Amino acid sequence: MRQLLVVAAGLAVLAASACSAPAPPRSAVPSATPTGPATLPAPTGAHPVGTTALYLKDTSRPDPWNPDAGARELKVTLWYPTGQRDGRRAPYMTAKESELFLKRSRIAGVPYDTLSRTRTNALEDADPAGRGLPLVVLSPGFTKPVSTLTSLAEDLASRGYVVAGIDHPYESYATTLAGGRVAECLACDSDTDPGFGAGVVQGRAADVSFVLDRLPSEWDGSKVIDRSRIAMAGQSIGGAAALATMVEDPRVRAGIDMDGTTYARIPRSGFSRPFMFLGAPQHVPGGRDTSWDRDWKLLTGWKRWLVLSRAEHHSFTDLPLLADALGIRPSRVVLPAARSAELTRTYVAAFLDQHLKSRRQSLLEGPSSRYPEAGFCPAECGRP
């Protein structure tokens, strides 16, 4: 299945497989004048946000993509509440990561370091504040770094969550590892192989479990985390990995799949932990992607299936927010970037507040006049 990132005439389409693995057949040329560095929207919560990065190595298993690596290495970016209000803002990407991402995405006509100049809100290496905070794991789409979920991560941290975003090396166009080494996408050559999606989510589930094992000993700030309150969310195959991780690891109490085709085998007896599907119109019941129809029947606990009208595959990431900086003019039929960010932040936070903080959210009970784009499936939702 191919999904389209819709842009104005003159910009070549970035094609994406069911795993959201871009395989652009021709160069993409920006169709508008770039506006300069992008600025991510300010977080909506009460707390300033800090961030730091960890580099972990799992010597118990080989890397699934790089036989020369010897062990699975991971980069984990943490976002969290802090008491600090001044300091250096964390970079969005390195210049090298930006260059590789734009080159592999076939986006030309802008400086290759453009994305490294994106303005974030989190303070680099600020001290964490609080205690007993829920933990949310984030996993990005295939070929995408976890930085493409920064707007969501910063917002959740400002609302009192610790967020652990995992970069899965060799599944992204560029991941900076310990010592400044850059891992490029080795898995990109395999994305059409039979069983590829199932293999990716299985590997990501192992990555998440390893991070949960090691986080208490590897991060000095881990004392602020309540390890009994853990959830996971992801976009595209990262969302599919959320469900796969929950099937394997009971520590993850709740999960969200943002527009990802699912691959995990749910027990026929059913799966009772809270789960939410949040997607674009291709995910309406009987739509182009039928994996949610299949899995919905096996979710026996609290569950929601939301479809956002006019959303597309990347509406749940930062990519629409970066379009102006890249000189990309989205189609008029696509959900505007600021609105897609607001909807994503709002519904993800509502789900987490209800299931990790025990705060009932009326927003999740049915359609809202404030957010008419959100349709509740399968009984009521928009059509493609």
pLDDT digits (tens, 9 = 90+) for 58-96: 999 999 999 999 899 999 999 999 999 999 999 999 999
Residue type, 298: L
Mean pLDDT, rounded, for 12-31: 41
Q: With the CA atoms of 297, 300, 302 and 303 taken in that order, what torsion angle do they form, in degrees rounded to the nearest 10?
A: -10
State how beta strands 303-308 and 275-279 pair.
parallel
Q: In whole angstroms, what is the distance from residue 300 CA to residue 311 CA?
A: 27
Which residues touch 67 (CB under 8 Å, ≥6 apart)?
none
Q: Report the number of secondary-structure helices (H) and strands (E) in the chain.
A: 7, 14
Sketch out the chain's domains with CATH numbers. Answer: 3-377 (3.40.50.1820)
Task: Pick the closest to residue 161 from 349, 24, 351, 332 (CA basis).
Answer: 349
Question: Is the model more confident about 149 or about 34?
Answer: 149
**DSSP letter for each residue of 209-245:** HHHHHHHHHH-GGGGGEEEEEEEEEEETHHHHHHHHH
Supply the mean pLDDT for the chain: 91
Which pLDDT band, with edges at 50, 70 and 90, does 329 fall under? Answer: confident
pLDDT, residue 27, reads: 47
Q: Which residues contact 53 (CB under 8 A, 6 or more apart)?
A: 75, 76, 77, 78
Separation in Å, CA 198 to CA 24, 171, 190, 248, 256: 23, 14, 12, 13, 18
What is the residue-wise DSSP string for 239-306? HHHHHHHHHH-TT--EEEEES--------TT-B-S-EEEEE-GGGSTTSS--HHHHHHTTB-SSEEEE
Report the length, in residues, of the chain: 384
Q: Using CA atoms, how far apart are residues 237 and 331, in angstroms rounded to an integer?
A: 25
Distance CA 266, CA 280 (A): 23
Nearest in space to 40 (alpha carbons), one of 132, 149, 141: 149
pLDDT in tens, 349-370: 999 999 999 999 999 999 999 9
Cα-only R_g, the chain? 19
Mean pLDDT, residues 106-133 = 96
Residue identified by tokens 């600020």 is 126
3-class secondary structure, 188: helix
